[in-house]
Amino acid sequence: MRVATWNINGLRARLDFVLHWLRSRRPDVVGFQELKIDEGQFPYSIFEEEGYSAVVQAQKAWNGVAILSRTVPRLRQSGLPGQEELGARLVEASIRELTFITVYCPNGKHVGHHDFSRKLSWFESLAMYLEGRHTPSEPLILCGDFNLCPAPIDSWNEEGMEGHIFHTDEERERFRRLTRWGLADLFRDTHPNEKRFSWWDYRAGAFHRNHGLRIDLLLATRPVSTRVEEVTIDRDFRKKKDGLIASDHAPGYADLDL
């Protein structure tokens, strides 16, 4: 079973690129973030032609998350309870015995901005949501754009950016609450010493200089994490394909013995 996550940075702008990736990598389940369309614009029929059913939480021109699955998903939750004012950022579905959640965590802008405290509150609500509705003994995947580097190895410039947005102790402590609950970081567990990134700014040649951050994550409970065969950050799909412009995020996927 191949499960994936990808911040596509606008579905209307990226649809042909996404279809190219789906045909090439053939994931069984994928969580998308940053759709930037309302639900009426979501191309359900196009994805159905590719063999995928979808559940979506969308909002016009901003945010938005979706789950695509080859097995029809059953919607369990749309939106993070108590955090509705921060937009469409969570959708959860059951896919056979698997619980699959994808999230688009708030950016926070910078540590002095009001949105930074709202970001921390959002993460606290996410942890409470998991603790209140799920258990670490169930097969569960939480994936998405977390808008933080879990550890110094996940930044190209930890020394220069320590204490700045994505690199703060406050953000990392909220992330550790998720891992203490029972979620494993599948890429880091599989590649403990590898410095790889999932996001690169479009500006200043960041991608070609490999000035990136690993902020797009696949997390899973033990019933899933113990079945991992390989985890890949699909850097090749951060590049242009046939004249199509890529997202500033690379997809990530894990192959599971499920």
**pLDDT at 77 > cutoff 90:** yes
Six token digits for residue 115? 């949105």
CATH number of the domain enclosing 109: 3.60.10.10
pLDDT in tens, 202-215: 999 999 999 999 99
* Per-residue CA distances from 147 to 84, 143, 196, 225 (Å): 18, 12, 15, 22
Domain count, the chain: 1
Q: Specify whether 145 is catalytic.
A: yes
Domain of 95? 2-256
pLDDT in tens, 82-139: 999 999 999 999 999 999 999 999 999 999 999 999 999 999 999 999 999 999 999 9
According to the model, what pLDDT value does residue 157 have? 98
Closest residue by Cα to residue 183 from 230, 147, 216, 134:
134
Which helix (H) or strand (E) segment holds residue 188: the answer is helix 186-190
> Average pLDDT for residues 72-85, to the nearest whole number?
98
pLDDT at 219: 99
pLDDT at 51 over 90: yes
pLDDT at 258: 86
pLDDT at site 189: 98
DSSP states of 118-177: HHHHHHHHHHHHHHHH--TTS-EEEEEE-SS-SSGGGBTTHHHHTTSTTS-HHHHHHHHH
Identify the active-site residue in 28, 145, 185, 216.
Answer: 145
Residue 98 one-letter amino acid: L
Please determine, for residue 253, whether its predicted confidence score (pLDDT) is greater than 90.
Answer: yes
Q: Would you state the pLDDT for residue 67?
A: 98
Mean pLDDT of the chain: 97
pLDDT digits (tens, 9 = 90+) for 180-204: 999 999 999 999 999 999 999 999 9
Q: Which residues, in sequence order, are bridge partners of residue 67?
A: 31, 55
- pLDDT, one tens digit per residue, over 56-73 is 999 999 999 999 999 999
* Mean pLDDT in residue range 146-157: 98
Which candidate in 28, 52, 104, 129 is catalytic? 104
The residue behind tokens 């021109």 is 61
